Structure 1
Amino acid sequence: MGKLVEQYIEIAKKRNPGEPEFLQTIEEVLTSIEPVLEAHPEYIEAGLVERLIEPERGISFRVPWVDDNGKVQVNRGYRYEFNSALGPYKGGLRFAANVYPGIIKFLGFEQIFKNSLTGLPIGGGKGGSDFDPNGKSDAEVMRFCQSFMTELYRHIGPHTDVPAGDIGVGAREIGYLFGQYKRIVNRYEGVLTGKGLSYGGLAGRTEATGYGIVFFAREMLKHCGEEVKGKTVAVSGFGNVTWGTVQKLNELGAKVITISGPDGYIHDPEGVTGEKVDYLLELRGSGKNICAPYADKFPSATFYAGKKPWEVKADLYIPCATQNEIRIEDAKTMVANGCKYLCEGANMPTTNEAIEYLQENGVIVGPSKAANAGGVATSCIEMGQNAGHTVFSPAQVYEQLETIMVNIHKAAADACEKYGIGYNLIAGANIAGFEKVAEAMMAQGIV
């Protein structure tokens, strides 16, 4: 890390104390783009990095709602509109107990470069609340979502900021949020993505993130002279991203041998196939947020309570659960097991220390901002569908998605070659995403 990057990181630390996730992603990105900054002193003179690491707008608000017992509950809501150089702010809403400004800022900052990599006209933003929908009734979730949108609506719009779903925000929550927005503004417009098919949603959106991850992993392996077919894959999570990832891996001839939840992980050496894949949706729909019942239902599987799947030997690892789920001790275990490839499905699932260890030991890492960009890419396709008052078929969506993911990998690989950094896709993706945003920011002046 050079002195210039250290100066920017110190600025971020002073302005964002107690927000380690946000500082982690800033360090990762700025360290990667240092060669670009050295080649473009005009970026430094224009204060581009100082502006980039500061959100254009941050909104915090209270969300009062009444539970089924008639008791008033109060949560906090957030929306950080980080960068609009390329288009309207775009990024999900996360409802989880651990949500606080540092989580939202980290996600929003990552979203800038992820959205840039798609090649689509969307800026970066993220939002959410410390509300946990798990265990809540539909009526409670509806009342919360209506209260949340009663404040958020004034800050979003189809040409301003277009939120989507994330952890804790699925089809149910998006439906309630959209209904309240429409009720308040009296307009039917594509202000949210991830909507149901009956009211403007995009066919194929549910599986898009997972499919995109596998398309990116396929390109990684192809670059290294290998293929996905015949590989054993350890995957974490059991929600929509994992579901889509498992589906596409099976289609391409790989064998998925793990899933996981907050309660532990499942090892199924026979493979997560057929009705087992469908059962992932049942687990997610149960509202219990546990994966242990999988082992009760399928005799081929074993449940390991309180553990993570990274101790299982596999050819390819795809973390799809949450941030920082792979730590240094996990990385050491994976290397000891002969790991060659890691493709990040969740947002920032690997700590910087673990990434450094993996790369030092020859592991090819596909970064989340590139690999899981298929979700936001198809969200932008949904925006276009809504704006054009038309409907795309699943085949049209999958074709566009695959093209976008192939191009994202190419952009990252080309950046690696341009700056002579080997096949370091983390740096390559950061550079490719940054260069486009930087050019747009410079063209638009000091704003």
Structure 2
Amino acid sequence: MLQQLDVQQELEDVYEKALRRNPGEPEFHQALREVFDTLGPVVARHPEYHEQAILQRMVEPERQIMFRVPWVDDAGVVQVNRGFRVQFNSALGPFKGGLRFHPSVNLGIVKFLGFEQTFKNALTGMGIGGGKGGSDFDPHGRSDAEVMRFCQSFMTELHRHIGEYTDVPAGDIGVGGREIGYLFGQYKRLTNRYEGVLTGKGVGWGGSLARTEATGFGAVIFADRMLATKGQSMEGQRVIISGSGNVAIYAVAKAQELGAHVVTFSDSSGYVVDEAGVDLGLLREVKEVERGRAADYVARRPGSRLIQGGRVWDVPCTVALPCATQNELDVHGAEALVRGGVVAVAEGANMPTTPDATEALQGADVLFAPGKAANAGGVATSALEMQQNAGRDPWSFSQVASRLETIMDGIHDECANTAEEYGDPGNYVLGANVAGFTKVADAMLAHGVI
């Protein structure tokens, strides 16, 4: 067995080499650091991971695809965006992960998301590998015709790299049912195949019931299971939620179903505080039907208020669910949560908590669930959609929801048991990283050096 000092040096050497090979990608560096900081004990226990260079191979994507996406806007002006697909690791199954359309998208962000996705997908136990993709295209404010032309151009290149047994993309920020429909239509047109190559499809043409709700539902289920380890539940908790997309909306829905009192949501204009409890019907109408802003909710909801320029984390709560985007919860926000009486934090987004914020929360004995565990419900249900597509057998909402709850229960228990096995009970970050890493590493060993 390697000496502990050698293990730490090995981890540091691999990390430093990854930094040199991937300059200017801070989100990817952060994701690597967060995982590597927990892997010392498992690498010491399994010297074969060192001998077969598992770490060195795992930080390098199997394939990185970057391409030009030209399209014509409604004014007849040619626009050019950049498209990405990073196929990170297929040791456990076909690449699986969403497409993000947002001006912030670049190669480093897609690599960070793909790396995280690899371990998240492993934790589901559903036989799917990790990948991610997207574009710096912003669908906000674009007409349906413009979004269609962009999606068709994007898929014209992407289609040659994906397939139901190769890589199965889904939606993410900026990619909902409308975009998935246009992407799927172009894939079918180009390949002459009707297959489960994308998930998040419309229910009438191959999609799964409960897929839209799944990530938000899953994060709340995970939080509820964490609270149960302390003799509590979601019932009666005062909950704050960031974001107002699918994840946030259905986190509100599930939390309210379990008896919690949800008082916030947010968007880029600020955050809304609704002490009477967020009106889920109005929130869905404003965000899903009208594609409106937080101010539109406040204008129609007496007693609610929009706070601009502040932090949603300043609102006192017992449970916090970051459901917007990466690094939204910094150390100052974490300290505010602790002062406000927070008991549990479950990440509904991908890496929304900065490393120092995570440390502050854990140091205050706050239950903390990383996104690779807590927000795995979406990709788990995408895998269930793949099963339904393969069997040409659509399931009822209750069937999917029941499977989702079973999967989230399993992820929670595996993370908790792994943390206890490695001597740090209650450390869900350690448990998620080690459990996910071990699943992928063991499969890579079995496949040989490829």
Answer yes or no: same fold by TM over 0.5: yes
Equivalent of residue 414 in structure 2, options 411, 416, 429: 411
Deviations along 1:373-432, one digit per CA (max 9) or x if unpaired, are 000000000001111111110010001000000000000001011111121001101111
**Superposition CA RMSD, Å:** 1.1
Query: Could you tell me which amino acid in structure 2 is paired with residue 339 of structure 1?
Result: V
The partner residue of 1:282 within 275, 282, 286 is 286
- Aligned partner letter, 1:180: Q
Change (3 A) 1:15 1:52: same
Task: Report the Cα distance in structure 1 between the residues aligned to 2:280 and 2:378, rounded to whole angstroms.
Answer: 24
SS in 1 for 2:149: helix
CA–CA distance in structure 1, aligned partners of residues 9 and 334 of structure 2: 28
CA shift at 1:120, angstroms? 0.6
Instruction: Give runs of aligned pairs for residues 67-86 of structure 1, distance below 5 A.
Output: 67-86=73-92
The answer to whether 1:340 aligns with 2:343 is yes
Which ranges in structure 2 are unaligned for 5 or more consecutive residues? 1-6
Q: What's the counterpart of residue 160 of structure 1?
A: 166
1:138 to 144, 155, 169: 144
- Distance apart, 1:94 and its partner CA: 0.2
Alignment of 1:56-71 (within 5 A): 56-71=62-77
2:135 to 129, 138, 145: 129
8 Å Cα contact 1:260/1:308 also seen in 2: no
Q: Which residue of 2 aligns with 1:226?
A: 232
Partner Cα separation in structure 2 for residue 308 and residue 294 of structure 1: 18
Aligned structure 1 segments of 4 or more residues deviating by more than 3 angstroms: 284-288
Give the superposition deviation at 1:166.
0.1
How far did 1:305 drift?
1.0
Q: Are the counterparts in 2 of residues 238 and 284 from structure 1 also a CA contact under 8 Å?
A: no
Instruction: Assess if the C-alpha contact under 8 Å between 2:286 and 2:296 holds in 1.
Output: no
Query: What per-residue deviation string (whole Å, max 9, x for no partner) do you get for residues 117-151 of structure 1?
Result: 00111000000000000000000000000000000
1:38 aligns with 2:41: no
CA–CA distance in structure 2, aligned partners of residues 332 and 9 of structure 1: 29
1:172 and 2:187 are equivalent in the alignment? no
Distance 1:274 1:428 in 2: 33
Structure 1 residue 7, shift from structure 2 partner? 1.2
The answer to whether the aligner puts 1:193 opposite 2:199 as a matched pair is yes
Following superposition of structure 1 onto structure 2, how do residues 259-278 of structure 1 map, counting pairs within 5 Å?
259-276=265-282
Find the aligned partners of 1:324 and 1:291 in 2 and give their Cα distance: 21
Partner of 2:98: 92
Q: What CA distance in whole angstroms lies between the structure 1 residues aligned with 2:252 and 2:177?
A: 20
- TM-score scaled by length of structure 1: 0.98
Paired with 1:247 and 1:387, the residues of 2 have a C-alpha distance of 30
Letter of the structure 1 residue corresponding to residue 245 of structure 2: G
Deviation at 1:2, TM superposition (A): 3.0
Alpha-carbon distance, 1:285 to partner = 4.1
- CA displacement at 1:293 relative to structure 2: 1.5
Is the Cα contact below 8 Å between 1:240 and 1:281 reproduced in 2? no
Runs of 5+ unmatched residues, structure 1: none
Greater Cα offset, 414-423 or 176-185: 414-423
Identify the match of residue 360 of structure 2 among 353, 357, 360: 357
CA distance in 2 between partners of 1:107 and 1:223 (Å):
29
1:424 is aligned to 2:416: no
Quote how far apart the aligned CAs of 1:4 are.
2.5
SS of residue in 2 equivalent to 1:74: strand
Match of 2:243 among 237, 247, 263: 237
**Letter matched to residue 427 of structure 2:** N
CA shift at 1:101, angstroms? 0.4
Q: Distance in 1 between matches of 2:395 and 2:230?
A: 34
| TM-score computed with the length of structure 2 as normaliser | 0.97
Paired with 1:321 and 1:254, the residues of 2 have a C-alpha distance of 20
User: Identical aligned pairs, as a percentage?
Assistant: 56
Letter in 2 for 1:430: N
CA contact (8 A) 1:66 1:143 kept: yes
Tell me what 2:3 maps to.
none
* Counterparts of 1:274 and 1:423, CA distance in 2: 32
Equivalent position of 1:151 in the other structure: 157
2:19 matched to 1:13? yes
**Offset at residue 287 of structure 1 (A):** 4.0
Letter in 2 for 1:395: S
Aligned match of 2:263: 257
CA distance in 1, matches of 2:112, 2:359: 19
> What residue number does 2:4 align with?
none
1:388 aligned to 2:394? no
Aligned counterparts of 2:260 and 2:341: Cα–Cα separation in 1: 18
Give the match's secondary structure for 2:98.
strand
Q: Which residue of 2 aligns with 1:104?
A: 110
